[in-house]
Structure 1
Amino acid sequence: MNFGAPNWLWTLAILPLLVLLYAQAERRSSIKLREFVSPRLLPQLAGNVDRVRRAIRFAFVLLALALAIGALAKPRWGYTYEDVKRRGLDLLFAVDTSRSMLSNDVAPNRLERVKLAAQDLITDLQGDRVGLIAFAGRAFLQAPLTIDYDAAVESINDLDTKTIPEGGTNIGEAIALATQTFGKSAMGNRALIIFTDGEELSGDAVNEAKKAADAGVKIFTIGVGTAQGSLIPV
């Protein structure tokens, strides 16, 4: 069972307060009656007062109030089946693994920060497919599109600056590889997220981005690092 307006249930908290107020009122009434009436005359003057019946009547009032609050909360029983059409997302991460990604102007370094960011994005996916491309002077598909998020995270954790032996920053080849990968397994919306710390040193990223757009691929670029930069560890 669930409720359509569960906030009304909070008002049930007033019921114990009403019980407490009722008990205090009954106690004060009894004390005052004993103060002004002799115990010998009390049965004659208050004999027609049925405290048990009055308590039962108060209990019924509380029950009615509780039922009214329950009705306002809109309880729901049972379940229904509903067909929901959903377009899955195909998402590729393209991660720059050039040596400059070892710069520590963002802690612990640029590459490790990218790994954490990519893993955070994966945790928000629900049934969408995700893949991984590593690129430097060349681009390579590290993990094909999959719904095995644990495998995708493992591939991300395995990235280092030795993943692609050829130095450089060939963003264009990464985009071309992503378009090719999407073309082989087109399903639903397709997006490419590029993590990089610098401008393209080889290739033609602008031309490849236009081709990707024509193929229905949305590209998002995330820059890594600070304007001040830092030295690259040797």
Structure 2
Amino acid sequence: MPPIQIGEPIYLRLLFVPACLGILWLWRLSYRFSDRKLLKDSRTSPRALLYPLGGELWFWFCILLAVISLVMALSRPTILATVSQNAGADFIILQDGSTSMRVSDTTPDRWQRSVSWIRVFAEMLSWQDQRVALALFAHRTAPQIRLTRDPNALFFFLDYLDREPPFRLEDDTSWDTNIEEAIYWGVQIVERDAELYGERLSTKVFIVISDGQSWSGEVNNALQLARSRNIRVYVIGVGTLSGGFIPQLPVGIYEQPEEPIRSTLDRQSLRAIAQVGGGEYYELEEDSAQDIALEILIDVQSRTQTTRRQETFVDLYWLFLAIAAGLICLSTLLLQESTQLWWQLAVASGLIALLVS
């Protein structure tokens, strides 16, 4: 790709006129030099006489350059500029919304504790070269927001989801924790974003927040897919090893209540997911929310590419107009006759007409 592109090349034909005038100007300058030499040789004076080097020709030289600048501005030139930017990072938060997240073995419960951590994490982001996506999962994944730099979009959903998961306790599908489905969805959102906006050099990160799931081959396949896309998986465990009872549905008068189900933190499975996913494992009960968020950001930043090159074209239209205006102002200092002033006013009027149009 050429470094300079011309948007309206037809106007470059107008350069033929200043080219001819330039040849005439050079001829006049050489003629003046010969006259200057002849005067020095033919005249005798007790003191050395000083003759202007170019005289009024320098005024015409500035006008000539101003006309060339105007023609170049009309041709709409653009120049290739390479901009280096921070590659940034994309965080896809996969939040467990299954029924076990309603257990109150943490304060106030697992769900509200995890949502409060997401809020802390979002407040620590710069949101300049960082994007965030959010999805909730139980038996199926429910995407909430796509990758965005708008913090208001994330905080809106956090305010809406602050009290309890959107999956109803009455639905059987809310009693399952399907991490592999969530990871597959995360990979799809990354691929879809690349289709819409092109490939980015940003570091891709999954943050899984859950109380655990039994290890299976399907989880391993999902993790291998994420690793093949250079996506690291960080896992945050919510809950305690002692656990707590899952809230039960209200029963009818003649119905026998079901046995209460105890849910505990599956630390071993979550740690295995983080290890295979190439990330780290954290627990909200052992570490503070700020420390976990900071450690993840520092680790991701250390793996992020420093810069990415972005090629863009910069319009030179206004630059050439400014050069033409500057040359006309400079020629004012070289005025010696009123005729030259009228020429300057004519060129200035043409420049103003271009600016207005």
Q: Which residue of 2 aligns with 1:227?
A: 241
What is the root-mean-square deviation in Å for CA atoms of aligned residues? Answer: 1.9
Please list the CA deviations of residues 60-84 of structure 1 after superposition, one character each: whole Å capped at 9, or x if unmatched.
Answer: xxxxxxxxxxxxxxxxxxxxxxx76
Change (3 A) 1:153 1:169: same
Aligned-residue offset at 1:200: 4.2
Q: Which residue of 1 aligns with 2:11?
A: none
Q: Which of 193, 202, 212 is the aligned partner of 1:185?
A: 193
Whether 1:175 and 2:220 are equivalent positions in the alignment is no
Q: Which residue of 2 aligns with 1:110?
A: 110
Aligned-residue offset at 1:202: 8.0
Q: Which amino acid aligns with 1:231?
A: F
Q: Which of 199, 202, 224 is the aligned partner of 2:213?
A: 199
Q: Which residue of 2 aligns with 1:119?
A: 119
Q: Which residue of 1 aligns with 2:159?
A: 157
Aligned-residue offset at 1:158: 2.7
Whether 1:210 and 2:224 are equivalent positions in the alignment is yes
Q: Which amino acid aligns with 1:141?
A: P
Aligned-residue offset at 1:204: 1.4
Q: Distance between the aligned counterparts of 1:133 and 1:157, measured in 2?
A: 15
User: Which stretch has the larger CA shift, 156-165 or 135-144?
Assistant: 156-165
Q: Which runs of 5+ in 2 are unaligned?
A: 1-82, 195-199, 249-357
User: Which stretch has the larger CA shift, 222-231 or 160-169?
Assistant: 160-169
Please list the CA deviations of residues 92-138 of structure 1 after superposition, one character each: whole Å capped at 9, or x if unmatched.
Answer: 11000011101111100000000010111111111211010100001
SS in 1 for 2:85: coil
Q: Which amino acid aligns with 1:117?
A: W
Identity %: 30
Contact 1:92 1:131 in 2 (8 A): yes
Q: Which amino acid aligns with 1:95?
A: Q
Contact 1:170 1:201 in 2 (8 A): no
Q: Distance between the aligned counterparts of 1:221 and 1:106, measured in 2?
A: 18
Q: Which runs of 5+ in 1 are unaligned?
A: 1-82
Q: Distance between the aligned counterparts of 1:203 and 1:144, measured in 2?
A: 28
Contact 1:170 1:202 in 2 (8 A): no
Aligned-residue offset at 1:201: 8.2
Q: Which amino acid aligns with 1:196?
A: S
Q: Which has the higher contact order (CA 8 A, sep 6+)?
A: 2
Alignment of 1:123-142 (within 5 A): 123-126=123-126, 127=128, 128-142=130-144
Task: State the TM-score, normalized to the length of structure 2.
Answer: 0.40
Aligned-residue offset at 1:85: 2.6
Q: Which amino acid aligns with 2:191?
A: G
User: Which stretch has the larger CA shift, 105-114 or 142-151?
Assistant: 142-151
Q: Which amino acid aligns with 2:167?
A: T
Q: Distance between the aligned counterparts of 2:215 and 2:224, measured in 1?
A: 18
SS in 1 for 2:158: helix
Change (3 A) 1:155 1:173: same
Q: Which of 150, 155, 164 is the aligned partner of 1:148?
A: 150
Contact 1:93 1:194 in 2 (8 A): yes
Task: State the TM-score, normalized to the length of structure 1.
Answer: 0.61
Aligned-residue offset at 1:151: 1.2
Aligned-residue offset at 1:203: 8.0
Query: Alignment length, in residue pairs?
Result: 152
Q: Which residue of 1 aligns with 2:79?
A: none
Q: Distance between the aligned counterparts of 2:110 and 2:147, measured in 1?
A: 24
Q: Which residue of 2 aligns with 1:7?
A: none
Change (3 A) 1:133 1:209: same
Aligned-residue offset at 1:180: 0.7
